[in-house]
Amino acid sequence: MCEKFHYVNLNASPVFYLFCWPCSSTCHGWGWSCALIGCYLLEWLRYRIQLPRNMIENSMFEEEPDVVDLAKEPCLHPLEPDEVEYEPRSSRLLVRGLGEHEMDDDEEDYESSAKLLGMSFMNRSSGLRNNMSIYRQNPNGSCSVPSMRTMVVCTVVLVIAVSLIMAIYLLPKCTFTKEGCRKKNHTMELIYPLATNGKLFPWAKIRLPPDVVPLHYDLVLQPNLTTLKFAGSVKIVVNIIQVTWKIVLHSSGLNITKATITSAGGHQAKPVEFLEYPLHDQIAVMAPEALLVGQNYTVNIEYSSNLSDTYYGFYKISYKDENSKQRWFAATQFEPLAARSAFPCFDEPAFKATFLIKIKRDEKLSTLSNMPKKATTPVTNGIVQDEFFVSLKMSTYLVAFVVADLKNISKETNGSLVSVYAIPQHLNQVGYALNTAVKLLEFYQKYFLINYPLEKLDLVAIPDFQSGAMENWGLITFRETTLLFDSNTSSARDKKLITAVIAHELAHQWFGNLVTMEWWNDLWLNEGFATFMEYFAMEEIFPELHSDEDFLNLIFKAMMKDSLNSSRPVSSAVQSSEQIEEMFDALSYIKGASLLLMLQRYLTKDVFQAGIEVYLHNHNYGSAQSDDLWDSMNEITNGTLDVKKLMKTWILHKGFPLVTVVRKGKIISVQQEKFLYRVEPENWTSDASYLWHIPLTYITSSCNFTRCTNAYLLDQKSAVIELPEEVEWIKFNVDMNGYYIVHYAEDWKTLIGLLKKNHTALSPKDRANLINNIFNLASLGKESLEKAFELIDYLNKESSTAPLTQALFQLSLIYSLLEKKGEQQLAARVMHRIEHLLGDKIDQQRWTDDGTLSERELRSTLLAFACTHDMRNCRTTATEMFKKWMKSNGTMSLPSDVMKAIFTAGSKSSDGWQFLLKMYSSSVSEAEKSKMIEALASTEDVRKLIWLMQNSLEGEVIRAQELSHIIATVSQSLPGYLLAWDFVKENWEKLTRKFHLGSYTIQNIISSSTSQFATKAHLLEVKSFFESKSEESSQLHCVKEAIDTIQLNIQWMEKNLAKLQELL
Whether the predicted pLDDT of 40 surpasses 80: no
Count Cα atoms within 13 angstroms, Cβ side, for 839: 11
Query: Residue 961: pLDDT band by 50, 70, 90 thresholds?
Result: very high
How many residues does the structure list for the chain? 1064
* 976 φ, ψ (degrees, to nearest 5): -100, -20
**790 given a catalytic annotation:** no
Among candidates 154, 176, 188, 174, which has minimal Cα distance to 85? 188
Helix (H, G, I), strand (E, B) or coil at 146: coil
pLDDT the model gives residue 999:
94
196/83: higher pLDDT: 196
Q: How confident is the model at residue 155 (pLDDT cuts 50, 70, 90)?
A: low
Residue 481 above 80 pLDDT?
Answer: yes
Q: Of residues 505, 549, 783, 857, which has the active-site annotation?
A: 505
Tell me how far apart the alpha carbons of residues 950 and 355 are, in angstroms, rounded to a whole number: 41
Are the C-beta atoms of residues 488 and 416 closer than 8 Å to each other?
no
Q: Give the range among 140-144, 406-410, 1050-1054 with minimum mean pLDDT.
A: 140-144
**pLDDT confidence bin for 267, thresholds 50/70/90:** confident
Amino acid 548: pLDDT: 92
- The percent of residues in the chain predicted with pLDDT above 90, rounded, is 77
pLDDT at position 723 over 60:
yes
Q: What is the structure's pLDDT at 190?
A: 63
| CA 533 – CA 535 distance, rounded (Å) | 6
Q: Is the pLDDT of residue 76 over 80?
A: no
The answer to whether the CB of 424 falls within 8 A of the CB of 321 is: yes
Give rounded-to-5 percent helix, strand, coil for the chain.
Answer: 45, 20, 30
How many CA atoms are closer than 13 Å to the CA of 275, on its beta-carbon side?
A: 25
Identify the bridge partners of residue 378 per DSSP, sorted by sequence position. Answer: 384
User: Cβ(239)–Cβ(212) under 8 Å?
Assistant: yes
Q: Which of 3, 180, 243, 190 is nearest to 100 (CA)?
A: 3
Residue 207 near residue 229 (C-beta atoms within 8 A): no
Q: What whole-number distance in Å separates Cα of residue 411 and Cα of residue 27?
A: 109
Q: What is the reported pLDDT for 98? A: 29
Q: What is the pLDDT of residues 522-567, one digit of tens each?
A: 999 999 999 999 999 999 999 999 999 999 999 999 999 999 999 9
pLDDT at 61: 34
Number of alpha carbons in the 13 Å side-chain half-sphere of residue 709: 19
920, 959 contact by CB (below 8 A): no
> Which residues lie below 8 Å from residue 837, measured CB to CB, with a gap of 6+?
792, 793, 795, 796, 807
**Phi then psi dihedrals of residue 1014, to 5 deg:** -145, 30
Q: How confident is the model at residue 302 (pLDDT cuts 50, 70, 90)?
A: very high
* Cβ neighbours of residue 359 closer than 8 Å, sequence gap 6 or more: 220, 221, 222, 223, 367, 369, 385, 386, 388, 401, 403
Contact 637, 654 (CB under 8 A): no
Neighbours of 916 (CB within 10 A): 24
183 to each of 50, 60, 99, 114, 180, how far by Cα in Å? Answer: 21, 22, 17, 20, 9
DSSP β-bridge partners for residue 299: 236, 261
| Residue 338 to residue 332: CA distance in whole angstroms | 9
Would the pLDDT of 48 be above 60? no
Instruction: Give 650-688 pLDDT, tens digit per residue.
Output: 999 999 999 999 999 999 999 999 998 875 544 444 444
Q: Using an 8 Å Cβ cutoff, are 384 and 374 in contact?
A: no
Q: Output the CA–CA distances (angstroms, integers) from residue 340 to 276, 283, 748, in the order listed.
A: 13, 11, 56
Residue 332 to residue 317: CA distance in whole angstroms: 11
Per-residue pLDDT at 677: 86
CA distance 700 to 723: 10
pLDDT band with cut points at 50, 70 and 90 for residue 28: very low
Res. 264 pLDDT band, cuts 50 70 90? confident
- Tell me the β-bridge partners of 216: 237, 354
pLDDT tens, position by position, 786-795:
999 999 999 9
In which element (H, E) is residue 622 found?
Answer: strand 622-624
pLDDT at 1031: 86
**CA pair distance 834, 842, nearest whole angstrom:** 11
Averaged pLDDT of the chain: 85
Task: Give the pairing of strands 92-96 and 189-193.
Answer: antiparallel
Give the integer Cα–Cα distance in Å for 889 and 874. 23
The predicted-structure confidence for 1013-1042, as pLDDT tens digits, reads as follows 999 999 999 999 999 998 888 899 999 999
CA–CA dist 372, 629 (Å, integer): 32
Q: Does 39 score more than 50 pLDDT?
A: no
Instruction: Please list the residues that pair with 258 across neighbouring strands.
Output: 302
Confidence label for 334 from pLDDT (cuts 50, 70 and 90): very high
Condensed to tens digits (0 to 9), the pLDDT of residues 567-602 reads 999 999 999 999 999 999 999 999 999 999 999 999
Of 18-22, 149-153, 610-614, 749-753, which gets the smallest average pLDDT?
A: 18-22
Whether the CA torsion 566, 568, 574, 580 is positive or negative: it is positive
Encode pLDDT of 813-826 as tens digits.
Answer: 999 999 999 999 99
Q: Residue 137 has what DSSP assignment?
A: B
- Cα gap 405→383, rounded to integer Å: 15
End-to-end C-alpha distance for the chain, whole angstroms: 83
The residue among 225, 30, 223, 310 whose CA lies nearest residue 143 is 30
pLDDT category of residue 56 using cuts at 50, 70 and 90 = very low
Query: Could you read off the pLDDT of 922-959 as tens digits, one per residue?
Result: 999 999 999 999 999 999 999 999 999 999 999 989 99
Local confidence band at 129 (pLDDT 50, 70, 90 cut-offs)? very low
pLDDT tier, 268 (very low <50, low <70, confident <90, very high otherwise): confident
Mean per-residue pLDDT, 182-187: 45
Q: What is the pLDDT of residue 947?
A: 96
Q: Please determine, for residue 115, whether its predicted confidence score (pLDDT) is greater than 50.
A: no
Q: What is the pLDDT of residues 237-256, one digit of tens each?
A: 999 999 999 999 999 999 99
